[in-house]
A and B are shown apart, each in its own frame.
Chain A
Amino acid sequence: MSPETYEKAAVLMRYPLAVAGLFIALRALYMTVKDGYRAGKLRQGELRYGAVAMLTVVPADKRGKAQKLPVGRNGCIGSSTRSDVRIKGMGLKSRHFDYEIRSSQMHISPVAADDLSLLGKRAGEEIRGTLVLSPGDKLLAGKAVISFQMLKLPKSSTSPMNSKVYSAKGKRE
């Protein structure tokens, strides 16, 4: 190719290449924004797939990273992969305690936990056997302060899963 021909080709290609660069940047921007909305919708979608409450986990020393975890009607909370709700790095045992949500209250049965205590308004309350938490109550387990809030189910839920009732062992009744 002669230098003059190359020069004409390069000058012509300026526009498609600039457009390509803009397309790449703008497409990436579109994906970033859309995935941000997706994350929000995922939270709403969780309601349709069995989430009934949102667990808030805050490190007791208030200098760590708080987490919000959607949870189902029952399960086990601990630090290992054998738990249903895995909370890492906050001093929990591998299977710390079982929970079950009934009538907007969380019933807690310690599995390996021997360090559960209540904070806030119910601080100092003695814990014997099963503990019943209401939304907003704070439980200290290991080095994590755990509280929960009930999620509002959509009025017309078509998901058959919302009508299922699970026993404490995760089996459908």
Chain B
Amino acid sequence: MIFSRLSKNRKEAEGLRRLLVRTDERPLEYAVMGFQAACLILLSLKDGALDTFTLAMAFALPIGTFLGLKLIARFWPVDRQMYLLTMFLCSLSVILLRAVFKSTAKAETQALYLLPGFAALLIGIAVPRLFTGREVIIKLAMPLFAALMLLPFGFTTSSAARSWVRLGSMQFQPSELLKPALVLVLASGFSWERKLKGWIAYMIFGASLCAILLVQRDLGAMLLYFMLIMAMFTAGTGKWRLSLLAILIAAGLGVLFVSVSDRVEGFGYIATRIDIWKSPFSGKHEESRQIVQGLMSVSSGGLFGAGLGLSYARKVAVVGSDYIFAAVCEEFGMLFALAVILIYALLAVLGMRQAMNARSRFHALLAFGCAFEIFSQMLLIVSGNLNILPLTGVTLPFVSEGGSSLMGSMLMMGMMLGVSSINAQDEYDDLMRLTSGRGRGR
């Protein structure tokens, strides 16, 4: 319709339509919906008697994916491919938790988390559309974010993990929720500040978060935060030599710390983890059981998997969050697992593309930071599951069990989608301007 307005020549209108409209996402949409329905219908029959909750999810998830896309696309011209891939990964979480565990409790909880997760996605879309990065509120929010990170010290759980906050029956992990906040603050700081003294405040903010995580003994999250800060600093300022120097100093300090970690109270587990990583099958440490079982789980799936619900992945400790990738390999097989890794890589590529097409530095850095964070987190956890790197305890974005992880990931994906919608509108404005002779802007 708009294409015929732009050109009366039918061939030209069709040509313009092809240029403006992206590749049809419907085959991808139907494939995702079909996959969700097929898996959950099969799983509803797993326990002999029909599981009504799983059967209900078999219809609710595909319909929710479809309606969610219609709702979002009604208001914003977001990148639909990114949304569909995200929904595929989110539904994979529910499917795996239902398949791996005999009880439906974990799958039900994760399915319920999808609702606030979708709300977080919508909030994330709104963020780049509302903020330009110059808002004082972003700077003023930095102490609040640091205070949130300190919450676990006041609300420690009974377990050794000091990065969780327990409020009654609920618990959440501030470090997961603060990742998108960190991306927002750093994007604001490095896009508008031009000099070193302007960047220092943001570097101090990032360093303080890393220090808090170190005290909380959440080294996986600390590593992710550090990598994100360095990446955004380099991308935002271009000072790659400074970044390289900081990384080398941090690496040196890290090696030194690891070598003396067994003498530092509360950090003795680091030396054990390194030892287990080097020789997981030696049997020297009780903790190596998790890694050995994880590796066996990965390998026993073969190319096509054991079959949905037929794996023994539940025998792996903390399989729902730390070893979910091993569960993917055992349930669905290596081919499917490679497809999942490819999907994460595509999400990163799409995020980087939005960053390169953004018309403002703030939006470019925002998209870059979110894409980098999601991809690096995936790399860390998959490497840990495959024993390429020591296990760090971070989660697989969208797929791992847990509300905090899902909220944080959905917020970041929402911000990337928000930037994509701004880029699409700018592109449309370009062409409208060219064809009508007057700009319409936004």
Contacts and interface: CB of A to CB of B under 8 A. Distances in A.
Contacts of A70: 430, 434
Interface residues of B, number: 72
A119 B128 CA distance: 34
A31 interface: yes
A82 B305 CA distance: 58
B34 A20 contact: yes
A159 B15 CA distance: 12
Interface string A18-29: 101111111111
A46 B431 contact: yes
B127 interface: no
Interface in A107-132: none
Nearest to A51: B434
Contacts of A86: 429, 439, 441
B364 interface: yes
Contacts of A74: 437
| A14, A39, A159 — most chain B CB neighbours (10 Å) | A14
B310 A7 contact: yes
Contacts of B349: 32
A80 interface: yes
Interface string B16-32: 10111011010110011
A28 B437 CA distance: 36
A13 B308 contact: yes
B340 interface: yes
Size bracket, chain A contacts: 35 or more
| B25, B32, B45, B437 — most chain A CB neighbours (10 Å) | B437
A71 B39 CA distance: 51
A24 B35 contact: yes
A154 interface: no
Given A13-B307, A21-B35, A166-B437, A64 B361 contact: yes
A25 B343 contact: yes
A24 B441 contact: no
B353 interface: yes
Contact of A21 (B340, B357, B442): B340
A84 B358 contact: no
Interface string A59-78: 00101110101111011100
A75 to B, nearest CB: 7
A82 B439 contact: yes
B304 interface: yes
Contact of B308 (A10, A26, A46): A10
Interface in B168-210: 194
Contacts of B438: 75, 84, 170
Interface stretch (B52-60, B331-339, B373-381): B331-339
B441 A83 contact: yes
Contacts of A84: 433, 437-439
B81 to A, nearest CB: 5
B259 interface: no
Contacts of A45: 15-16, 19
Contacts of A24: 28, 31-32, 35, 85, 88, 339, 343
A67 B38 contact: no
A31 B6 CA distance: 26
A85 interface: yes
B143 interface: no
B12 A48 contact: yes
B103 interface: no
A66 to B, nearest CB: 10
A36 B434 contact: no
A16 B342 contact: no
Nearest to B311: A10
Interface in B298-344: 303-310, 332-333, 335-336, 338-340, 342-343
B310 A10 contact: yes
Contacts of B358: 65
B434 A88 contact: no
A115 B349 CA distance: 40
Contact of B346 (A25, A42, A69): A25
| B7, B9, B16, B19 — most chain A CB neighbours (10 Å) | B19
Interface in A1-55: 1-3, 6-7, 9-11, 13-18, 20-32, 34-36, 38-39, 41-42, 45-46, 48-51
A153 B171 CA distance: 62
A93 to B, nearest CB: 15
A15 B304 contact: yes
9 contacts: A14-B306, A15-B304, A17-B336, A18-B333, A23-B31, A28-B84, A36-B353, A42-B427, A63-B194
Which 6 pairs of residues, A with B, have the shortest CB-CB distance? A81-B441, A10-B307, A25-B339, A84-B439, A21-B336, A170-B437
Given A38-B19, A81-B442, A86-B441, 20 more contacts: A6-B48, A6-B309, A9-B42, A10-B46, A14-B332, A17-B39, A18-B304, A20-B34, A27-B28, A35-B23, A45-B16, A49-B7, A61-B194, A63-B237, A72-B437, A76-B439, A89-B361, A159-B12, A160-B9, A170-B438
